[in-house]
Amino acid sequence: MLAVRLLSVRYNDLSCIMVCNYALFPVVHGDVKGNEMKKLKKEFTRLRILAEEKIRLKDPSFDEDSGADVQKIIHELRVHQEELEIQNEELRQTQLLLEASHCKYTNLYDFAPVGYLTLDKDGIILEVNLTASRMLDIERHTLFKSRFGNYVANEDKDSFHLYLRKVFKTKSAQSCELRCIKKHGGKFHANFESIYVEGSDNTGLCRTSLTDITEKRKANAELSVLSEVVEQSPVSVMITDPQGNLEYVNPQFTVTTGYEPEEVIGKNPRILKSGAQLFKVYKRLWDTIIAGYQWKGELQNKKKNGELCWNLVSISPLRGQDGTIKHFIGINEDITARKLIEDELAMERNNLEKTVDVRTNELKKSLKRLKDNYAALQKAELARDTMAHMLVHDMRNSLGVIKGSVQIMQAGDDNNESTTKNTQRIVRAVDDIAVLLKSVLDVSRFESGKMPITLEPLNVSQIVKEIYNQFIPQAEEKGIHLSVKTELNEIIALADSKLLVRILQNLVNNGLKHTRDSLIISTSINDKWATISVSDNGQGIPEEYKEKIFDKYFQIESGKNRKKSGVGLGLAFCKMAVEAQNGTILVEGEENKGVTFKVKFNALG
């Protein structure tokens, strides 16, 4: 009996334990009535059935109706034990589900694409997710229990406090845009979406979502600029749906066509067709753009008032994210004025081509006449050169006879002083004529390109001395002091020896004719040029003659009365000969102060 009482006590304790475990349900407090009580009884019944089923599976020989109290108590204990085990397993499963749900909620909360904050009425941060922490660039533990107003830009702090007060006052959803400050001073634009809730202690809370809209605002600003560009564009802009019906036109469209937006929105741009283009042009246009390509071309359209105009048209498809064509955008530039100018230019071009053809034919005829004249001139020049050579040859022979006869006369014993002077004048005249004839031939050769030239290194100092010795007798006869000044005994220049001698003979002979009583031949050298100078102290050359003295047949006056002398070929020959040797010749001096002729050749060494 003692054992039965003990078991009875244990049974009563177990019943209490069972009831306590069901304290999760309000029945323990007497709060459950009606449907809730039915649900609770149903749960107890389910647990008992499960427990008894498990006992029968474990001990099939056990008989609940054996009549023994001990057996009943043991049975009840075993049933309650199984009920507790089932209940514990279900609680463990529930706990696992709760932990998984909490982990999922935490992940969703912390790693949401927007920031989440819970604020009290003073703006103290009670909760904050990782996204909001990263947006502010501040550690979460630093944000916790701090005032969110500290992270709002100074210029928006008042707006934030008014916004927070409005949330708690109206207890309704509110939104606003404010500028927030990051840890290191950077700013970003944020959108606030807030709702009012009550906490477990019945205190009011503000739950807020925080979205960084900096890029969105920037994109909106860019879109605003683009919108202004389109609105103020000097060309017409049209946007249609995929079927080609107009959805938008800019103000320039109205200026160009005369149609107001409400007159064309929803209609097809074919209302602008003038009928001037063939059907295949529009078919090609449509086939191109629905295939996803851009079409460009010129179309003649018709304005609202019936006036025809030309447009340079560009139509492009606009695709959506799925790749399908959502719109077509057309840009029309009015090129009517340009087309009119092009037509005028085409007409002028046609007239010009006709004029050019006429002028070309005339030029061809003139060119043929010029060719014929040129051929005739060549024949005449050839005849002239031939005749000049013949005349020079015959005159040389005659001059040789005259000179020889005069020299014989000079050798005779019966010559008196007067005869000697006359014969000397004749000899000098004959020499001058010979020089003149040679100059004529040389100038003719230079002009026809037939003058042979051989450039070689020459000692110009030595050649100058030879020229000096050659002209000493003539200078002494005239009472002229002829002198030589050489900077170096050896100055090497690149020149033709025969031409160089001829040049110096011409310059010295010219100087002896025009000087008063002195003539100086000098040489000098610098890094590039070897220079030979012939200087006299005669009447000089007037400034207006300096550019003309090298012209053929130019004669300058000489003597007190400025009488003209010579036929002007000596200096012309000198200029041609010097330039043919890659040199230069120039004249210096003033009137009544003498003249200096300078000849420059390329120096060597």
Question: Is the distance from CB of 290 to CB of 326 less than 8 angstroms?
Answer: no
Residue 337 CB: number of other CB atoms within 10 A? 10
Nearest-angstrom CA–CA distance, 370 and 365:
9
Q: How far is CA 405 from CA 416, 420, 427, 433, 434, in A?
A: 17, 13, 10, 16, 16
- Listed in sequence order, the DSSP H helices in 145-239 are 157-170, 214-231
Quick: pLDDT tens for 233-273.
888 999 999 998 999 999 999 988 999 999 999 998 888 88
Count of CA atoms in the C-beta half-sphere (13 A) of 551: 9
**Mean pLDDT to the nearest integer, 118-124:** 93
Q: How far is CA 141 from CA 117, 124, 127, in A?
A: 13, 13, 10
Nearest-angstrom CA–CA distance, 131 and 560:
114
Assess whether pLDDT exceeds 70 at residue 381. Answer: no
* Least confident segment among 35-49, 462-476, 584-598: 35-49
Residue 311 CB: number of other CB atoms within 10 A? 23
**Mean pLDDT to the nearest integer, 198-205:** 86
Residue percentage of the chain with pLDDT more than 70:
74
Question: In the prediction, which pLDDT does 225 show?
Answer: 86
Assess whether pLDDT exceeds 70 at residue 25. Answer: no
Tell me which DSSP letter residue 66 carries. S
Q: Which amino acid is at 241?
A: D
Query: Which backbone phi and psi does 310 adopt, to 5 degrees?
Result: -105, 135
Average pLDDT, the chain: 80
Quick: pLDDT tens for 130-140.
999 999 999 98
Question: In the prediction, which pLDDT does 447 show?
Answer: 67
**Mean pLDDT to the nearest integer, 534-558:** 79
Question: In the prediction, which pLDDT does 18 show?
Answer: 40
Tell me which DSSP letter residue 137 carries. T
Q: Kindly state the helix (H) or strand (E) to which residue 579 belongs, with its residue range.
A: helix 570-580
* Least confident segment among 66-70, 169-173, 285-289: 66-70
Helix, strand and coil percent figures for the chain, each rounded to 5: 55, 20, 25
Assess whether pLDDT exceeds 50 at residue 560. Answer: no
Q: Which of 55-64, 285-294, 406-415 has the highest mean pLDDT?
A: 285-294
Question: Is the distance from CB of 594 to CB of 537 less than 8 angstroms?
Answer: yes
Question: In the prediction, which pLDDT does 21 show?
Answer: 42
Count of CA atoms in the C-beta half-sphere (13 A) of 308: 8
Residue scoring higher pLDDT (209 or 439): 209
Nearest-angstrom CA–CA distance, 312 and 299:
7
Question: In the prediction, which pLDDT does 294 show?
Answer: 92
Q: Kindly state the helix (H) or strand (E) to which residue 209 belongs, with its residue range.
A: strand 204-212
Assess whether pLDDT exceeds 80 at residue 101. Answer: no
Q: How many residues does the chain have?
A: 605
Supply angle C-alpha 575, 432, 444, rounded to 5. 40
* Least confident segment among 2-16, 58-72, 149-163, 490-504: 2-16
Tell me which DSSP letter residue 154 carries. G
User: In whole angstroms, what separates CA 271 from the centre of its chain?
Assistant: 41
Question: In the prediction, which pLDDT does 471 show?
Answer: 92
Assess whether pLDDT exceeds 80 at residue 476. Answer: yes
Question: In the prediction, which pLDDT does 251 show?
Answer: 92
Question: In the prediction, which pLDDT does 17 show?
Answer: 38
Assess whether pLDDT exceeds 60 at residue 500. Answer: yes
Assess whether pLDDT exceeds 50 at residue 14. Answer: no
pLDDT grade for 440, boundaries at 50, 70 and 90: low
* Least confident segment among 61-65, 232-236, 537-541: 61-65
Q: Which domains does the chain have, with CATH numbers?
A: 2-108 (no CATH), 111-218 (3.30.450.20), 233-334 (3.30.450.20), 336-450 (1.20.58), 452-602 (3.30.565.10)
pLDDT grade for 63, boundaries at 50, 70 and 90: low
Own/partner contacts of 293-298, CB < 8 Å, gap of 24 or more, are 293/317, 298/335
Q: Which amino acid is at 528?
A: K
Enter the tokens of residue 328. 């077509």
Among 214, 164, 165, residue whose Cα is nearest residue 189 = 214
Assess whether pLDDT exceeds 70 at residue 340. Answer: yes
- Paired with 115 in beta bridges are 210
Question: In the prediction, which pLDDT does 451 show?
Answer: 76
Question: In the prediction, which pLDDT does 22 show?
Answer: 41
Question: Is the distance from CB of 524 to CB of 490 less than 8 angstroms?
Answer: no
Quick: pLDDT tens for 356-378.
988 899 899 888 888 888 787 77
Helix (H) and strand (E) counts for the chain?
Answer: 15, 19
pLDDT grade for 221, boundaries at 50, 70 and 90: confident
Assess whether pLDDT exceeds 50 at residue 84. Answer: yes
Question: Is the distance from CB of 113 to CB of 129 less than 8 angstroms?
Answer: no
Among 235, 239, 231, residue whose Cα is nearest residue 334 = 235
Residue scoring higher pLDDT (337 or 380): 337
Assess whether pLDDT exceeds 60 at residue 15. Answer: no
Residue percentage of the chain with pLDDT more than 90:
33
* Least confident segment among 67-76, 144-153, 224-233, 243-252: 67-76
Count of CA atoms in the C-beta half-sphere (13 A) of 141: 0
- Paired with 192 in beta bridges are 176, 210
- Listed in sequence order, the DSSP H helices in 291-324 are none
Q: Which amino acid is at 35?
A: N
Assess whether pLDDT exceeds 60 at residue 123. Answer: yes
Assess whether pLDDT exceeds 90 at residue 169. Answer: yes
Largest CA distance in the chain: 207
Q: Which residues 6+ apart lie within 8 Å of 63 measured at CB?
A: 71
- Grouping H, G, I as helix, E, B as strand and the rest as coil, residue 147 is strand
Enter the tokens of residue 436. 């003149």
What is the Rg, in whole angstroms, of the alpha carbon atoms belonging to the chain? 62
**Mean pLDDT to the nearest integer, 276-305:** 89
pLDDT grade for 444, boundaries at 50, 70 and 90: low
Nearest-angstrom CA–CA distance, 301 and 452:
77
Put simply, whether the predicted model's pTM sits higher than 0.75 gets the answer no
pLDDT grade for 409, boundaries at 50, 70 and 90: low
Question: In the prediction, which pLDDT does 424 show?
Answer: 66
Question: Is the distance from CB of 585 to CB of 565 less than 8 angstroms?
Answer: no
Residue scoring higher pLDDT (436 or 256): 256
- Check residue 123 and give left, alpha or beta (phi > 0: left; psi -120 to 50: alpha): left
Among 133, 95, 141, 91, residue whose Cα is nearest residue 116 = 133
Residue scoring higher pLDDT (37 or 460): 460
**Which residue has 């004719």 as its token pair?**
513
User: In whole angstroms, what separates CA 396 from the centre of its chain?
Assistant: 76
Among 521, 527, 535, residue whose Cα is nearest residue 460 = 521
Question: Is the distance from CB of 208 to CB of 116 less than 8 angstroms?
Answer: yes
